[in-house]
A and B are shown apart, each in its own frame.
Chain A
């Protein structure tokens, strides 16, 4: 104990004398973090961000954010004597004349790709488990803001070297800005400081990329983590896990050790990629010129969905009264982006309004237990995915030997049909999985042992589900019911304010669809409204009495919770 005692009394005492930390730090150390591998997806993003800060700082010591034209005479002799911007020349310098420079550049770019990929994976986990529900709506919005900003941060970052590939992306940006009605030309001239390309865009993007956006990121990430800390992390359903507790291991030393290990894993993964997989070889692309372009030009993957939407859009424009509206650029540039992000931002509130559920949720849903939500999420993923694939359509056409125009034609239909198909298929899969769960609960696990009964009948033995699995299977919370609406009310009844009129009927109908689930008793044709009115028919089997009776208590609790009035 002497090592720890010395440390506590020496350094610990010195700090505590100044900061009154003993109780607070002890609380922190004993804080419980639940454990599930999907909870580490956000950490991948966090640690990638730290790696980006570290490697990015290194790069700023050598990069010249200037579009002044110079003649290159550095170590990459294949471009000797070529005129290029200082930005491009300094990137060549980092790659070929600074020890570790190429490694730092590659780590920075791979970490950026991993950052955005991890945010997407993390966001999907949050969505499919319903972790965005009260009290975490604000954190969901912060997360969406982080995702949006990360797209721009990446775009501006890989445009800094001013090479042919990223410069083409800037050209497309100019075209997109021009398509904005009324103010498009002004936006373009203000961003580029005049006609395209000018010589101001790289220094401007540089400052946004290394100062403005990282500052906002630091603030948002801090807020995101603090809120998560303060509200405590959600947990997966399981034995002993309720909505009012957190089960796991304490921060010190367990969680700290695990998260530290994960940081090293993240760094190791990115370092491995940067050793063995070349990324963004700008020396092969050549310096940017508006005269040239390469076949197979794509932005980095996270901008791919915008590229795809630009490619698949038919050429619609309106020309009237001396003005042109470029729908063929404006729609693909802003509508998919707007739809996905606005839809995502509004979703927690929309779901609250539809279901009337105002309670806190600290236990995650299993995706199958929210079939409509999961199906909607998969439809959104499919929508995004088709746009993304179309963004690489020329590479796909070339390598998979498919006609180029055909890829676009397919995409134009798939973008509408795909999400619908995905919704239907996902929903059926979820309902099927729920039925399987109910079957397990009711009948137990098949053992594969066949017995012959005295009557001659053959019967397969089953055993009850074990405790851990039982806890998970039973952790389905029936959603609170909405107050009786206009359609179910009698002629003389007046529905509560939120359920009146056309909007009330819409709300009722949406609620039916959203809470559609296999009923808890496992019977019914799987098409019933799982929410019922809280008074279950009491079809109790072993170990499930708690749930069906809890159902009626749920209804009471909900009614109480709604005393302050649904709206």
Chain B
């Protein structure tokens, strides 16, 4: 009798098969997910002063990839002219410093605190200018035209970020981020600087007022409670269909099984 046949009936054999199956599925999944190409460069814009501390932090944290003069290297783009807005966006969302090269820099807990971030941003701004960090007044929702914001968002943002800012898939492993965690300032900065694959919506294409309208719409929309119950991720019919099968139909099958179950006592009669 072969080794497998001898061991087949042991209880541990079941667990071994399940484990093998899990490993197989995991291996297949790992080969088809994850890394694509690294992110490419953003655009050069002008910057400001307040440098020394920022330069110090820059040399410690960023220069290994971005170069000692922020001129860029083979693995990271030049930061000459990206402006304080870009730096603030990337660092405050935790995308930078990058931990691993992947198709897209994911958000993670921020590594530099707000003061450090401001300093680095000022340093980069001082090198060659670029879009500036917006003021609180520029990103506030008071007096904003939410209706216009909805129109602009639908025409120029929803195709990547989804009608509710839930994010969406791009090509080669990239994705448009979900917007539910972004602060108004970060939203403004993203529109202004066009991080990674996102297009640039400068202040003369979508004016600062219109940006405020869009921000007001996004914040408004994500703060809106779900009157119909749990949102199911606000993804749309995909999760609804899953609930219809795994929830509704499954519940009905259980009910049917209960109703038609044979009485146990009938077997003894």
**Binding partners A and B:** yes
Report A240-287 residues with CB < 8 Å from chain B CB: 258, 261-262, 265-266, 269-270, 273-281, 284-286
Cα distance A293–B256 in the bound complex, in angstroms: 41
A residues within 8 A CB of B160?
295
A300-B241, A404-B170 known; A78 vs B220 contact (CB < 8 Å): yes
Whether A82 and B32, one on each chain, are in contact in the complex, defined by CB atoms closer than 8 angstroms, is no
- Tell me, yes or no, whether B169 is within 8 Å of chain A by CB: yes
Whether B240 and A301, one on each chain, are in contact in the complex, defined by CB atoms closer than 8 angstroms, is yes
Count of inter-chain pairs, beta carbons less than 8 A: 207
The 0/1 profile, CB within 8 Å of B marked 1, for residues 392-426 of chain A is 10110110111111100010000000000000000
B residues within 8 A CB of A79?
147, 150
A40-B256, A78-B220, A294-B158 known; A110 vs B238 contact (CB < 8 Å): no
The 0/1 profile, CB within 8 Å of A marked 1, for residues 228-254 of chain B is 111110111110111111011101110
Chain A, residue nearest B220 (CB): A78
Whether A258 and B260, one on each chain, are in contact in the complex, defined by CB atoms closer than 8 angstroms, is yes
CB distance from A300 to the nearest CB of B (A): 5
- Tell me, yes or no, whether B226 is within 8 Å of chain A by CB: yes
CB distance from A458 to the nearest CB of B (A): 15
Whether B230 and A277, one on each chain, are in contact in the complex, defined by CB atoms closer than 8 angstroms, is yes
Whether B240 and A291, one on each chain, are in contact in the complex, defined by CB atoms closer than 8 angstroms, is no
Out of A113, A266, A278, A297, name the residue touching B227 (CB < 8 Å): A278
Cα distance A429–B217 in the bound complex, in angstroms: 55
- Tell me, yes or no, whether B154 is within 8 Å of chain A by CB: yes
Whether A276 and B230, one on each chain, are in contact in the complex, defined by CB atoms closer than 8 angstroms, is yes
- Tell me, yes or no, whether B73 is within 8 Å of chain A by CB: no
Cα distance A403–B253 in the bound complex, in angstroms: 36
A residues within 8 A CB of B42?
none
CB distance from A456 to the nearest CB of B (A): 19
CB distance from B160 to the nearest CB of A (A): 6
Cα distance A405–B103 in the bound complex, in angstroms: 14
Cα distance A102–B168 in the bound complex, in angstroms: 28
CB distance from A476 to the nearest CB of B (A): 22
CB distance from A385 to the nearest CB of B (A): 12
Out of B34, B159, B228, name the residue touching A278 (CB < 8 Å): B228
The A interface, classified by DSSP as helix, strand, loop or mixed, is: helix
- Tell me, yes or no, whether B171 is within 8 Å of chain A by CB: yes
Cα distance A292–B236 in the bound complex, in angstroms: 16
A274-B229, A277-B229, A398-B168 known; A292 vs B155 contact (CB < 8 Å): yes
Whether B260 and A35, one on each chain, are in contact in the complex, defined by CB atoms closer than 8 angstroms, is yes
Chain B residue total in the interface (Cβ 8 A): 65
Chain B, residue nearest A269 (CB): B251
A289-B154, A292-B159 known; A404 vs B248 contact (CB < 8 Å): no
Out of B147, B241, B248, B267, name the residue touching A273 (CB < 8 Å): B248
B residues within 8 A CB of A102?
227-228
Cα distance A505–B102 in the bound complex, in angstroms: 59
B residues within 8 A CB of A278?
226-232
Whether B259 and A262, one on each chain, are in contact in the complex, defined by CB atoms closer than 8 angstroms, is yes
Q: Which of A37, A392, A394 has the largest number of chain B CB atoms within 10 A?
A: A37
Cα distance A284–B150 in the bound complex, in angstroms: 10
A residues within 8 A CB of B229?
106, 274-278
Out of A82, A280, A297, name the residue touching B147 (CB < 8 Å): A82
The 0/1 profile, CB within 8 Å of A marked 1, for residues 159-178 of chain B is 11111101111111101100
- Tell me, yes or no, whether B202 is within 8 Å of chain A by CB: no
- Tell me, yes or no, whether B221 is within 8 Å of chain A by CB: yes
- Tell me, yes or no, whether A344 is within 8 Å of chain B by CB: no
Whether B240 and A403, one on each chain, are in contact in the complex, defined by CB atoms closer than 8 angstroms, is no
CB distance from A498 to the nearest CB of B (A): 42
Cα distance A543–B185 in the bound complex, in angstroms: 82
Whether B169 and A398, one on each chain, are in contact in the complex, defined by CB atoms closer than 8 angstroms, is yes
- Tell me, yes or no, whether A499 is within 8 Å of chain B by CB: no
Whether A394 and B230, one on each chain, are in contact in the complex, defined by CB atoms closer than 8 angstroms, is no
Report 19 cross-chain contacts, Cβ distance below 8 Å, ordered by A residue: A40-B260, A41-B253, A95-B227, A121-B249, A165-B163, A165-B236, A277-B230, A277-B247, A278-B231, A284-B224, A286-B154, A289-B151, A289-B154, A295-B159, A295-B168, A298-B237, A401-B33, A403-B171, A468-B267
Extra contacts besides A114-B249, A270-B248 (19): CB < 8 Å = A37-B259, A41-B256, A44-B249, A114-B248, A164-B154, A265-B252, A269-B248, A273-B243, A276-B229, A278-B228, A281-B226, A289-B151, A291-B154, A292-B154, A296-B166, A297-B236, A299-B237, A401-B33, A404-B170
